[in-house]
Amino acid sequence: MDFATSAMDEALDLARLATGLSEPNPRVGAVLVSRDGRRVLGRGHTQAAGGPHAEIVALQDAAAQGHSVQGATAYVTLEPCSHHGRTGPCCDALVAAGIGRVVAALPDPNPLVAGRGFERLRAAGIGVDIGPGAAQSRELNLGYFSRMLRKTPWVRLKVAASLDGKTALDNGASQWITSQGARTDGHSWRLRAGAVLTGIGTVLEDDPQLDVRLVDAPRQPHAVVIDSRLELPPGARILQPKRQVIVYTAVDNPAKQAALQERGAIVVELPGPGGKVDLAAMLRDLARREVNEVHVEAGSKLNGSLVREGLVDEFLVYLAPKLIGQGQGMAQFGPLTELAQAVPLQFLSSTLIGLDLRIVARVAGRGVF
């Protein structure tokens, strides 16, 4: 492996450290390499929104070590930004620092950037190469790419089930089908999302918090409740202080809305057919609120609605080594009349997590946009 490949690999490892931290900004890593290509001068990854981006952190790291970056090469996992957002343009900082070359994995799909960062670097006489690490960087930022290009978040549906696919007994009892290890791992997937989504049925039955508690959490994802008839009790545990809660409903009930708003919730009316919430419109609204990834933990009815409407991109399934027999399934949709109507999936990984098997499966063709 040559030094350039190694530097981009390290930048990608740094970008992964921004998972659960940088949202809604993309997960980006940067490595600065000396002009002679023999030494790493600085490293960094994007910090929390409003904090410095990866390139700035790497420049600060080099300065703290007393290194000059004049003529150095910056390996970055996404095009340096060229606009004033919460922070200033990274491409300008690289120019001012005297960087001689930039190697970037991908152009930034944000319409405010979209090649302009590269243009400004080239205009300043900085060499630009694009492509190394592109697949890995894109995969790491699928939610960001989805929001920018599709105008909807990446939707990941999490299920904990028995080996025969049951998520609860007939009487609704579901705690706990999977082991503590799977539940802890599930919290790490919650952390990477911009929002954790559930339905009112789950809230009324289980009164979950749906926050991140079992792993370190520098930030909490938004909580989203699909509540067509606005039945969410103001005392529900999901309505936590200092956490953004968004309730989507299909009814206009000023009294109930006011009670929830007093608890800090945002109530959004998005009526759809049959007195239900318009789920596609809900996802578009979350994208406008800068949510990159939605992590769904809901019951079989809402799961089924999301699957039936083609809104799920990926499944995160924990299978416990037990059989339940008669019980509640993963998702209620159909019935299908022929097997060709089944939702085609691609298995991405299968991993033992404690006693349980974690499967990540993607709807065929998703991620290509």
Give Rg (Cα) of the chain.
23
CB of 290 closer than 8 Å to CB of 147: yes
- Which residues make Cβ contacts (< 8 Å) with residue 88, sequence separation at least 6? none
Separation CA 315–CA 81 (nearest Å): 32
Separation CA 106–CA 319 (nearest Å): 36
Task: Report CA-CA distances (Å) from 272 to 150, 282, 297, 311, 317.
Answer: 21, 10, 21, 15, 29
Task: Report CA-CA distances (Å) from 97 to 3, 15, 59, 74.
Answer: 22, 22, 8, 11
- Write down the catalytic residue from 23, 55, 293, 314: 55
The DSSP output letter for 261 is: H
Separation CA 278–CA 281 (nearest Å): 5
Phi, psi of 357 (to 5 degrees): -105, 120
55 is catalytic: yes
Report which secondary-structure segment, H or E, holds 32: strand 29-33
Helix axes 90-97, 54-64, angle to 10 degrees: 30
Nearest to 267 by CA among 275, 255, 276, 235: 255
Q: How many Cα atoms are found within 13 Å in the side-chain-facing hemisphere of 26?
A: 30
Catalytic sites, residue numbers: 55
